[in-house]
Amino acid sequence: MSKALVEKLKARFGARILATPSQHGDEAIVVAAADWREVHQFLRDDPGCEMQMLIDLCGVDYPDREPRFEVVTHLYSLTKKHRLRVKTAVGDADGDGADVDSLLPVWRSADWMEREAFDMFGLNFVGHPDLRRILLYPEFEGHPLRKDYPAQRTQPLVPYREGQGVQGKLAPFGPDEGMPFGRQTHDASGPSEVN
């Protein structure tokens, strides 16, 4: 069924479908970033496609090639029971220019998925109304799922925020969060460094 879907897309978009890889029965198409939203809109709205569900949206980092990043969606039709993976490539070797249109106008569920890809990879979803970090705190520097992000990097200390935490202060991490080095513990006297 998914092969027929790929053929339908090739008939509709022609050479704008850049590749149609298939692996173990999983069909995929590759499109240019400029065609990203239009192809997804067609997949959702066309009666022959009816891809009502955006299952996932994620990023992949290939630091030794250009464009460096892939943006990938996994789609599913609830009525026709077919699946499809859609990919596009964006960004230069430094991670700049990793721009692609937001799919929020097509699926509301793209909201947090795009924020996660922005947070973890630095992918920019053009037109997203609230593109900010979702998993990491706002002061975090860098994008930790990029292959060139150093695993042992220590983030700058963040001042305590006002809130309901210890002595009216809210710690940037809870006692079981973050990396084990440089973690602070809290007791009645306030924060102290773990040795």
Q: What is the pLDDT of residues 10-38, one digit of tens each?
A: 999 999 999 999 988 899 999 999 999 99
pLDDT of residue 7: 95
Query: Dihedral, CA atoms, 108, 109, 112, 115, nearest 10 degrees?
Result: -70
Same domain, 122 and 43: yes
Same domain, 115 and 54: yes
The rounded distance, in Å, linking the Cα atoms of 77 and 52 is: 5
Domain holding 75, by residue range, is 2-126
Same domain, 115 and 165: no
Per residue in 129-151, pLDDT tens? 999 999 998 888 999 999 999 98
pLDDT of residue 165: 54
**How many C-beta atoms lie closer than 10 Å to residue 82's C-beta?**
18
Residue numbers of the chain with a pLDDT score lower than 50: 183-184, 186, 194-195
pLDDT of residue 14: 97
* Residue 74 placed within a domain: yes
Domain boundary among 126, 149, 173: 126
Same domain, 169 and 118: no
What is the torsional sign of CA 96, 100, 105, 106?
A: negative
Same domain, 111 and 187: no
Please list, in sequence order, all residues whose beta carbon lies within 8 angstroms of the beta carbon of residue 102, skipping any fewer than 6 positions away.
Answer: 37, 110, 114, 125, 126, 127, 128, 131
Domain count, the chain: 2
pLDDT of residue 195: 44
Same domain, 21 and 105: yes
pLDDT of residue 59: 98
pTM of the model: 0.80
**How many C-beta atoms lie closer than 10 Å to residue 173's C-beta?**
14
* Domain containing residue 47: CATH number: 3.30.460.80
* Residue 111 placed within a domain: yes
* Residue 133 placed within a domain: no
Same domain, 121 and 179: no
* Residue 138 placed within a domain: no
